[in-house]
Structure formats: C-alpha cells, structure tokens
Amino acid sequence: AQSVAQPEDQVNVAEGNPLTVKCTYSVSGNPYLFWYVQYPNRGLQFLLKYITGDNLVKGSYGFEAEFNKSQTSFHLKKPSALVSDSALYFCAVLNSGNTPLVFGKGTRLSVIA
C-alpha cells in the first residue's frame, strides 16, 4: 500500500526567509510524487511533480522540491517566502498504474510580514 505523511500541521515563516514543507512517503516501487497548493475556498492547484530524472524538481511560483530516495522524502522548498504563499499545501504519491493519488493531510503555511 502507498502512503504519504506530512508531519507538520502548521509551518510559520517570516517573509523573505526560506521555507520548507516536509513530506515523506511509503510505496513498494518507484514513486510518482506531487505537491498541490490550496488557497481559501478554492480548489487545489498543481505545483510540481517528480516522475523520474533529476531529483530537484522546479514548479510554479518559485517552488521546488527535492526527491530523496534514501530518506523517502519529497520536501517542498522556496528560497524566499512571500506573504501570498500562505496557503494549505498537500503532498501526494502514486505507486503505479491507473489508481488515484494518495494525499497527505496537508500543512498550513503562514508567512508573516
């Protein structure tokens, strides 16, 4: 079975500082990994994904994530946080095949001016 964990319910960071939102996963084979962002009262927006290749994946709005196979992690990062980055972030994993993504519980990011 596949699963994903987001160990932090809430992350607070000052504007201009780097941010990290953590995600670890568990799958039996090679994972497909995803990050989504949700702003209040909106649907989830796709940020980035790792399928194969370079372990550092760059996505929308200046976000990036690093796939670490040995640590089974896929942490979301941004070098300099903006107040507008405040939102709910979801990590998701897919093992293989035509099956739905498995989502983490979400991490609420608050960027303070």
Partner 1 sequence: SQTIHQWPATLVQPVGSPLSLECTVEGTSNPNLYWYRQAAGRGLQLLFYSVGIGQISSEVPQNLSASRPQDRQFILSSKKLLLSDSGFYLCAWSVLGRSTGNTIYFGEGSWLTVV
By CB under 8 A, name the binding residues for partner 1: 32, 34, 36, 40-46, 49, 51, 88, 90, 92, 94, 97-101, 103-106
Separation of first and last alpha carbons in the chain: 41
Residue nearer to partner 1 on the CB measure, 19 or 34: 34
Minimum distance from residue 72 beta carbon to partner 1 (Å): 17
Q: CA nearest 21: which of 37, 39, 32?
A: 37
Say which DSSP state 113 is in: -
Q: Least separation, in Å, of the C-beta of 82 and partner 1?
A: 21
